[in-house]
Amino acid sequence: KMAGSSSPWIGSAYLFLQSTCKTIALPALYESSQKKPCVFKALKLALADSTGSMNGVDMLKVHCSHPHLIVQLKFCKRESCRRFLQSYREGALHKSLQSHLQLSLAMTTVPLEMELKAGCEHLDDMLKDEDHCLECIYREKPDRLRDEEITELEESLKSLTVHQSINNNMAVKDCTPPSLPSLPPSQGSSLSPQGTFIFQGQEFVNRTLLPDDHQKFAKLVSKKWKQVGRSLQKSCRALRDPVIDNLALEYDREGLYEQAYQMLLRFIQSEGKKATIARLISALEENGLVSLAEELLGLHSTEDCS
């Protein structure tokens, strides 16, 4: 049995979203402080449609990984998860999300492709076997708490609902209530959660990992990506050994770049704003990858990394 009577049924999955229209980039829309609440609202309402309840599924993190928008989902009831899978399989979630995005973003159409994963399992390939999909989702326990940004957006959406109900006789065109704070981009923050750190006698400002860091790491780390992952796992539950081994198998055909990229993606998705350059540099030093650390900190000339 998937769950004993004494413990709640909890599972996790990742919903990958991509627009098939070249002029619509969902990650770019979500990274925009103005459009982010609109995209979040559409996601929230479409997921509520799929389960029949605003609390049927919880969004833990929305990650921008161009060209995909990746939503980490948490289910706390098997029946809610079953309804979600039925809605996904029948195309109702797809239709609902397209409709809500069109309304929220004031666009004529938002063509979408969707993919659902639980761990290394591609659930789209097994949707007819609902029980097996449920087992895969149940095996993948959520590896993080809800991201702070999601909590802010949830509160903003509640505020918007109250705002609209008070003004139900007026046309509320803007999807953002006046009280909604401007949210920072999800990546590339220059804020330093831990101040500064020392590397080779020099002081560097700590910051959240940038997309450029992500790509350089994947390109240059080569076969040692596993060792770096195991160094990071000491403070990151999302990189426990089965995850690292599964990534090696799942992306074996794609090669070392994709394996390394996906490993660091797990770290970024799990840790959010705490996925800092200082933590990665420390893991690189621990594994003798000083040259790569220098590259990420800009201590090499640009021609060396072309």
Q: 41-72 in b/e burial notation, b at 16+ Cβ within 10 A? A: bbbbbbbbbbbeeeebbbbbbbbbbebbbbbb
283 contact partners, CB below 8 Å, separation of at least 6: 228, 231, 232
The 8-class DSSP code of residue 269 comes to H
The pLDDT, as a whole number, for residue 50 is 94
Of the given ranges (15-24, 72-81, 162-171), which has the lowest mean pLDDT? Answer: 162-171
Q: What is the pLDDT of residues 109-148, one digit of tens each?
A: 899 999 999 988 999 999 999 999 999 999 998 877 888 8
Read off the pTM: 0.55
**Mean per-residue pLDDT, 62-73:** 92
Domain ranges of the chain: 11-157, 196-297
Of the given ranges (40-49, 77-86, 143-152, 189-198), which has the lowest mean pLDDT? Answer: 189-198
CA distance 274 to 208: 7
The pLDDT, as a whole number, for residue 33 is 87
- The yes-or-no verdict on residue 168 having pLDDT over 80 is no
- Helix ranges (H only) for the chain are 26-31, 36-51, 78-90, 92-105, 130-139, 148-166, 211-220, 225-232, 241-250, 256-271, 277-286, 290-296
The pLDDT mean for the chain works out to 84
The structural architecture, per CATH, of the domain 196-297 is Orthogonal Bundle (1.10)
Which SS3 state, helix, strand or coil, does residue 239 take? helix
181 cis-preceded (ω within 30 degrees of 0): no
Reported confidence tier of residue 6, pLDDT bands at 50, 70, 90: low
Q: What is the pLDDT of residues 265-276, one digit of tens each?
A: 999 998 988 999
Of the given ranges (79-83, 135-139, 142-146, 246-250), which has the lowest mean pLDDT? Answer: 142-146
Reported confidence tier of residue 151, pLDDT bands at 50, 70, 90: confident
CATH annotation of 11-157: 3.30.70.680
Contact 87, 116 (CB under 8 A): no
CA distance 183 to 33: 5
- Half-sphere exposure of residue 201: CA atoms within 13 angstroms, side-chain side: 0
**Mean per-residue pLDDT, 141-164:** 76
The pLDDT, as a whole number, for residue 142 is 86
Reported confidence tier of residue 195, pLDDT bands at 50, 70, 90: confident
User: Which residues, in sequence order, are bridge partners of residue 62?
Assistant: 71
